[in-house]
A and B are shown apart, each in its own frame.
Chain A
Amino acid sequence: MERKNLVEMVNIHKWFSGVCALRGVDFSVGYGEVVGLVGDNGAGKSTLIKILSGVYPPDEGKIYFEGKECHFSSPREARMLGIETIYQEAAMVPKMSVMRNIFMGRELAKFRVGPLAYLDIPRMEEESMKALERVDLRLRSPHAPVDELSGGQRQGVAIARAMYFKSKLVILDEPTNNLSVKESERVLEFIRELKKQGISSIFISHNLYHVYPVADRIVVLSHGEKIGDFRKEETSVEEITKLMVLP
């Protein structure tokens, strides 16, 4: 079978202590595509995403990334292949500076002494400002602690980080939750910026009105099954809403 998509998840099943969370879901993401993943709470959105990002394996089904079959045993492995997941609470360390957050776990070093690497702080400063500019996020200093930023700016930093480290797929888990209208708008801008750079993304939300403007394709989950998969041109907000509220 020819695989033209960046991600192909085929016939994914997942059970949690006897409860079926996903039953035979097929899910794909094309190159440079923005896929909106919508569904009510408990529909199986996060389970699907956690399988794709290596948090747990599927009980059944196959995952192909860039045409190759993958078995992730940790989020780290998925990240190494270029799958970056941005969870709201888990993306940043609030008390740490923007720069230190961007390079967390992937620090730039001048040289190594035994087990320690001496940080190249001037380069990290410069590179983090550059990375932020690419998402049009202008901060006064790379040393500002993340907890002084707004929710939208934090998402921006996380997305800038994903871009900087050349991720191929960015998964955003409810990025617009608890954000003001204006801030949500900013986040949508960040996602458009990803697309411009040719990076695929999955935008998970239970708010269809946030997903609809930026998504190329919208996938609807309900009770662990895929009940809709539309190109945006083929559908409307009304149609999907109807689908989502059906029992």
Chain B
Amino acid sequence: MRHTLLFTLRRALLLREISSLIMLLVVILVFFALSPLFLSRENVGVVLEIIPELGIVALGVTMLMIAGEFDLSVGSLFAFCPIMISLFVSEGVHPVLSIVLALLLSLLLGGLNGFVTLYFGIPSFITTLGTMLIWRGAVLLISGGWPPPFSSALPTAFLVGRMGIFRASILWFAGITVLLWFILERTDFGNWMFATGGNQVAARAMGIDTGKVKLANFMLCSLLAGFAGVIQSFRLETTLPSMGGGLEMEAIAATVIGGTALSGGVGTVIGTVIGSFLIRIIDNGLVMARAPSYWFRVFIGIATILAVILNTFVRERARKMRC
């Protein structure tokens, strides 16, 4: 009995998501103690409304990071994609077609990130730092710094329509999470991703086309960033040129908090979902507790470092447990 209990405990402690999950529960309890309204119906609704936008971006970043690459350009693409929709619509393109075109463009720009990185053999950190600036610049050039008019012809309900206390976006987030979990954990492509990020030389030696694996993930990451930007733009019914500023850092933080290794080859989809919840809940909880909003960044910083330390420490201990 004791034996199986210990075994179960060890297995639980070896889960990549464990430290982020513990932190999430602690944070919820603390904020609830500070302000009981934190768990009110309305406030839970508010949180669930804003989580998908970060969460979907972070999921893309996670997939790419597991395959061994970075994307810093997600925040800029987050603004670029909805701006392109506005541009297409104002040029008289059908609204639905505009959405499709803008998403395809996001996919293509992800392909460009991948191509430049892989063809020239430069770090993706550099490539996407460059494209982060380029696409943000393009957003400002196109918009002139002002939000373009938001067309009422755009079908927004399928993304952000109200459903009780939450919006459709939470379903998209859930669906994408399940899909990516499935790809990562249950398909051959997921195995290639772990292999590519974990030891590229070995993966290549076993005949895995690591370039293709990375390229596909660059494209996925950009598509999701653009898609999440569309969700936010539809929710706010405007497209601010500053949208998604700093989002790349939050997405990386959510990913790392969730147990994904910066060096690639290790990570989970569920951990990133927990990490995204943690970040948005800290954001919201601080407001509810009437703390100055400047504290937000401080806490996210602390949470990120703490999660990684906890992760390393807990795993180290759990491994040494003999049972």
Contacts and interface: CB of A to CB of B under 8 A. Distances in A.
Interface of A: 75-76, 79, 85, 87, 89-96, 100, 103-107, 109, 115-119, 121, 148
Nearest to A148: B319
A93 B187 contact: no
Nearest to A77: B207
Interface string B58-83: 00000000000000000000000000
Contacts of B192: 104-105
Contact of A89 (B194, B201, B261): B201
6 closest Cβ pairs, A-B complex: A105-B206, A93-B198, A107-B188, A117-B188, A93-B199, A90-B201
Given A76-B207, A93-B202, 14 more contacts: A90-B201, A93-B194, A95-B194, A95-B261, A96-B194, A100-B194, A100-B195, A104-B192, A104-B208, A105-B195, A105-B207, A106-B207, A116-B187, A119-B186
Contact of A121 (B186, B201, B266): B186
B187 A95 contact: no
Contacts of B261: 95
Contact of A90 (B186, B188, B194, B199): B199
A156 B194 CA distance: 21
B242 interface: no
Given A105-B208, A118-B186, A95 B202 contact: no
A79 B208 CA distance: 12
B265 interface: yes
Nearest to B196: A93
Interface string B180-208: 00010011111110110011011111111
Given A105-B208, A148-B319, A91 B189 contact: no
Nearest to B190: A119
Contact of B187 (A79, A92, A103, A119): A119
Contacts of B205: 75, 85, 87, 90-91
Contacts of B195: 93, 96, 100, 104-105
A117 B188 CA distance: 6
A116 B188 contact: yes
Contact of A100 (B183, B191, B201, B319): B191
Contact of A109 (B183, B188, B198, B203): B188
Contacts of A119: 186-188, 190-191
Contacts of A93: 194-195, 198-199, 202-203, 265
Contact of B265 (A79, A90, A95, A148): A95
Nearest to A108: B188
A150 to B, nearest CB: 14
A80 B138 CA distance: 48
7 contacts: A79-B206, A85-B205, A90-B199, A92-B199, A104-B191, A115-B189, A119-B187
A121 B201 CA distance: 25
Contacts of A116: 183, 187-189
Nearest to B216: A115
A152 to B, nearest CB: 18
A154 B118 CA distance: 30
B187 A118 contact: yes
B186 A104 contact: no
B202 A92 contact: yes
A104 B205 CA distance: 10
A225 B183 CA distance: 50
Contacts of A85: 205
A89 B205 CA distance: 11
Nearest to B194: A96
A133 to B, nearest CB: 22
A242 B191 CA distance: 48
Most central of B199, B208, B265 by chain A CB within 10 Å: B199
Nearest to A97: B194
Contacts of B319: 148
Interface string B193-228: 011001101111111100000000000000000000
Contacts of A89: 201-202
A107 B202 contact: no
A141 to B, nearest CB: 11
A119 B192 CA distance: 12
Given A93-B265, A96-B265, A118-B187, A105 B203 contact: yes
A119 B184 CA distance: 11
Contacts of B202: 89-93, 104
A76 to B, nearest CB: 5
Interface in B152-196: 183, 186-192, 194-195
A85 to B, nearest CB: 7
A105 B208 CA distance: 6
Contacts of A148: 319
